[in-house]
């Protein structure tokens, strides 16, 4: 069955082409993740000291928050959240080793087939407690906590850090449908939080010009911020990304590009603003 054409096809630059699948592998690194639970939530995690890195007390912790319905996919959620490739040797080398934590929301489908139990305000305290428990249980110390989220998980990075800005060093929301008000951004500045905002200008779920663009100048004026708003979301084969599960969402899934480390399969950068990828940007930020 032929895929419907994406609604933004007529806006593509000359010579561009559309592809329907990410080129990074799915499942290649699942065996590097272990599973545990705390505070009523299950989670997957990666421990670099089990993959060639020495015991130390200064590793960063990457915390990935998945999008709506992804927890229903079980182990696949590791990939869908964007966290899988960050357990690869290349990404770990860039970071000098990093722990990865992926909490899972208690999602379920109701009698009408709608997803319930996705990330909302009631998860703030359980997830915060889970993160603290993970550091105490699995790590010897933590240099920095980096919160990454995809779609509704991107929105939840704002929600949880709004309540606890003192607990996070970097937040990296991807494809969030909202940006918090100025007073929250002020709190980030007071607590030394760096905001890396990532959303595609053609995101199908968030009207970029109406919702995102008016807030960019304020974010630029933060003490520590980085804005990544590419015109298009790409796959590794240099095709513009299309994903259709009954609704087109290829441009919304910028996390796929983040999981590619913003590099094409041939190693060239997808965007000149991130010549060394997200891992390179994080490594530089951690030196501050």
What mean pLDDT value characterizes the chain? 97
**1 lies in some domain:** no
Tokens of 227: 């804005």
Quote the CA–CA distance of 77 and 72 in Å, as a whole number.
8
Name which of 77, 123, 119, 72 is nearest 100 in CA terms.
77
Confidence of residue 139 (pLDDT cuts 50, 70, 90): very high
CATH classification of the domain holding 200: 3.40.50.1820
Domain-embedded: residue 2: no
**Alpha-carbon gap, residue 234 to 19, rounded angstroms:** 9
Q: 277 in a domain, yes or no? A: yes
pLDDT at 201: 98
Percent of the chain with pLDDT over 90: 97
Per the domain annotation, does 158 fall within a domain? yes
Q: What is the dihedral of CA 211, 215, 217, 219, to 10 degrees?
A: -130
pLDDT in tens, 59-90: 999 999 999 999 999 999 999 999 999 999 99
- Check if the beta carbon of residue 66 is closer than 8 Å to that of residue 156: no
Question: 1-57, pLDDT tens digit by residue?
Answer: 567 889 999 999 999 999 999 999 999 999 999 999 999 999 999 999 999 999 999
pLDDT in tens, 197-222: 999 999 999 999 999 999 999 999 99
What kind and span of H or E run contains 63? Answer: strand 60-65
Answer yes or no: is 189 within a domain: yes
* Number of domains into which the chain is organized: 1
Is residue 178 included in any domain, yes or no? yes
Residue 184: name the closest of 211, 157, 209, 207 by CA: 157
Domain span holding position 164: 9-286
In a domain, 3, yes or no: no
Residue at 4 is within a domain:
no
- pLDDT (0 to 100) of residue 251: 97
Strands 108-109 and 115-116, how do they pair?
A: antiparallel
């Amino acid at each position: 069955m032929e895929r419907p054409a994406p609604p933004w096809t007529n806006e593509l630059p000359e010579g561009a082409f559309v592809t329907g699948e990410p080129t990074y592998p799915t499942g290649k690194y699942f065996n590097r993740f272990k599973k545990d639970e705390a505070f009523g939530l299950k989670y997957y995690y990666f421990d670099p000291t089990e993959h060639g890195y020495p015991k130390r007390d200064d590793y960063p912790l990457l915390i990935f928050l998945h999008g709506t319905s992804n927890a229903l996919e079980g182990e696949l959620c590791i990939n869908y959240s964007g966290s899988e490739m960050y357990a690869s040797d290349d990404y770990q080398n860039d970071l000098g080793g990093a722990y990865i934590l992926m909490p899972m929301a208690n999602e379920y489908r109701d009698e009408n087939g709608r997803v319930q139990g996705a990330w909302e305000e009631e998860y703030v305290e359980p997830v915060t407690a889970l993160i603290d428990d993970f550091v105490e249980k699995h790590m010897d110390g933590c240099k920095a906590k980096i919160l990454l989220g995809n779609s509704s998980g991107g929105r939840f990075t704002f929600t949880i850090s709004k309540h606890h800005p003192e607990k996070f060093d970097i937040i990296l929301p991807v494809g969030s449908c909202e940006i918090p008000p100025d007073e929250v951004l002020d709190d980030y500045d007071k607590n030394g939080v760096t905001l890396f905002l990532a959303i595609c200008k053609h995101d199908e779920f968030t009207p970029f010009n109406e919702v995102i663009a008016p807030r960019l100048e304020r974010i630029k004026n933060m003490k520590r911020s980085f804005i990544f708003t590419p015109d298009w979301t790409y796959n590794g084969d240099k095709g513009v990304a299309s994903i259709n599960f009954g609704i087109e969402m290829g441009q919304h899934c910028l996390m796929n590009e983040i999981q590619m480390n913003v590099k094409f399969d041939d190693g060239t950068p997808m965007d000149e603003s991130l010549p060394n990828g997200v891992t390179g940007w994080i490594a530089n930020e951690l030196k501050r």
